[in-house]
Amino acid sequence: MLRYLTFRLALAIPTLAGVLILVALLLHLVPGDPIDVMLGEGASGADREQLRVAAGLDRPPWRQLVDFSLGVAQGDLGRSIVGGQPVGELLRERYPATLELAGAALLVAVAIALPLGALAALRPGALADRLSLGLAAVQTALPTFCLGPLLVLAFAVELPWFPVAGRRGPSSVVLPALTLGLGMSAVLARQLRTALIAALKLDCVRTARAKGVAPGRVFLRHALPNAATATLTVLGLQLGGLLAGAIVTETIFSWPGLGRLLIQAIGARDYPLVQGCVLAVAVTYVLVNLATDLLQAAIDPRLRERA
């Protein structure tokens, strides 16, 4: 397992380096000047040049990227150009809110996908299967930016059960978590259905049934573990996708997380803060996928032997 972990960590390093380089290049291609955002277009040339030098924007883009990378290696993400606060401090303030939202959305997705996928797999082609697939298709077809406002209208305006926006208690996370979790549950349910149908045809399952093992025990001890590997792969990818979906969701619900902070930083052309937010999301994505790979390797030893 240690060899497999080392191999996966070695692959993560070039991934994060590629993310940093790509984001730095794209940031400097975006029209706009952070100096104009801070001082306005009517500022004098001397003031503009002084602030540009103080913020390090007078250096070429490649040099800014090198300086940022060296700072990251030392645990320093720099300072926000607009507010002057340390980027690491801003990320620490916002990161827990994003983790809370992603965790709640994951619970929603699993709670919906597990019974839907299992019910559809146990009776393929039956009414329950068709209903679950239809529900999954509707959930997939509703984008986040459409589903979020619909949930707000239904359960915050017409039925004032939950807060419209903000993070003011446990009830505040319900609508954002539903917005993120419903789309994810559709993908998981369809993947679990496919994996379970294949697992129920395995020889070990047929042998257990021939021996008279109870259907529930056959499902839990033989079919579900064999279907878990493929489902965990999709789950890991979807968890990373939650962070991307959280950018839109946090904006809709004014959720004080990394996604909303990233949108604000892009609007202000705050290069260090944008790079810090993207790096935090990328590191989380890599760690989630690493944890998924390790869990799969623990379930299926053949994966460790291929590394």
**What is the 3 state secondary structure string of the chain?**
CHHHHHHHHHHHHHHHHHHHHHHHHHHHHCCCCHHHHHHCCCCCHHHHHHHHHHHCCCCCHHHHHHHHHHHHHCCCCCECCCCCCEHHHHHHHHHHHHHHHHHHHHHHHHHHHHHHHHHHHHCCCCHHHHHHHHHHHHHHHCCHHHHHHHHHHHHHHHCCCCCCCCCCCHHHHHHHHHHHHHHHHHHHHHHHHHHHHHHCCCHHHHHHHHCCCCHHHHHHHHHHHHHHHHHHHHHHHHHHHHHHHHHHHHHHCCCCCHHHHHHHHHHCCCHHHHHHHHHHHHHHHHHHHHHHHHHHHHHCCHHHHHC
Task: State how far the Cα of 48 lies from the Cα of 138, in Å rounded to an integer.
Answer: 52
Whether pTM > 0.85 for this model: the answer is: no
Domain extents in the chain: 95-255+280-306
pLDDT averaged over 10-residue windows placed end to end, the chain, 307 residues: 68 77 74 64 66 69 77 78 83 88 87 82 75 73 78 83 81 86 80 80 76 74 74 74 74 84 82 84 80 71 56
pLDDT at 32 (0 to 100): 65
Looking at the domain covering 95-255+280-306, what would its CATH class be? mainly alpha
d(CA 38, CA 30): 17
Predicted local confidence at residue 228, as pLDDT: 73
Per-residue buried b or exposed e for 208-218, using 16+ beta carbons within 10 Å of the residue's own CB: beeeeeeeeeb
Q: Check: CB of residue 189 under 8 Å from CB of residue 197.
A: no
Distance CA 55, CA 70 (A): 17
| Residue 22, phi then psi, degrees to nearest 5 | -65, -45
Q: CB–CB of 148/254 below 8 Å? A: no
- Count how many residues are written for the chain: 307
Sorted by sequence, the CB contacts under 8 Å of residue 171 that are 6+ apart come out as 161, 162, 163
Position 35 scores a pLDDT of 67
